[in-house]
Amino acid sequence: MRSNTYTLLFMSTITIVLGFLLSITATTLKDRQERNVENDIKKNILKCLNIPEERDQKLSADVIQNLFTENITGIVVDYSGNTLRELERGELAPKRKDQLPIYTYKVNATIKGYAIPISGKGLWSTIYGYLALEPDGNSVKGITFYKHGETPGLGGEIEKEWFTSNFVGKRIADMKGNLIGIEVVKGKADPGDPHQVDGISGSTLTCKGLTRFLKEDLERYDPFFNSIRGVTE
């Protein structure tokens, strides 16, 4: 019969070996996981800016990287709307909370759009996405939601094309350039209201959360886009 000491030594050895192997695996996969996260962020920035225009085109990691490098210039602005610097190569966002990233879409030095990160509480989770504006700093070019824990078939529908396409062409500011935001209404939006989109049936709290945090994020960027819209404080 095996002694208790032998059993403890055997179990300890197995635990140490398995822990060592798990540590090696985690370290080995860390770089790949970080690249995948970075690639997913770049893919969503491109998507909300409608790059490429073929919506159903599947993009490899290399294609995403090339499209991002060729079309996107990242800049950093402060809360007063002043441009501080360009994002460095490999830097997707500044570390300082008082600095904001903006991803500018340029073709032959002509600005075709801007993308900003958006995030906030839905019903069950924090929702993450990107909002793109046209060069006028007012009209919505596109929007994506790529990470959330909302209920599938209900609040989880925010990531679907049928919902996000409703934002395209809507305006975040009134005719004087003052920020209004975009309201996700319960039921059908007023077709004549440029600041409303259709809600999702059975997902009132998710939609209210989206309306709220989208306005909050736009307020942080408003001084920058005010300068584009020609609004003076």
Q: Distance between CA 200 and CA 86 in Å, rounded? A: 38
Q: Distance between CA 230 and CA 93 in Å, rounded? A: 26
- Which residues constitute the domain of residue 120? 46-229
Is residue 31 situated within a structural domain?
A: no
Q: How many domains does the chain have?
A: 1
What is the average pLDDT value for the chain, to the nearest integer? 89
What would the two tokens of residue 185 be? 């209404």
pLDDT band at 11 (very low <50, low <70, confident <90, very high): confident
Q: What is the pLDDT of residue 5?
A: 74
Q: What is the pLDDT of residue 162?
A: 93
pLDDT band at 17 (very low <50, low <70, confident <90, very high): confident
- Say yes or no to pLDDT of 30 above 70: no
Is residue 219 situated within a structural domain?
A: yes
Helix (H), strand (E) counts: the chain: 4, 8
pLDDT above 90 as % of the chain: 67
- Say yes or no to pLDDT of 69 above 60: yes
Is residue 8 situated within a structural domain?
A: no
Residue position matching structure tokens 């942080």: 220
For 16, the 3-state DSSP assignment is helix
Q: What is the pLDDT of residue 36?
A: 79
Which whole number is the average pLDDT over 130-153? Answer: 95
Is residue 182 situated within a structural domain?
A: yes
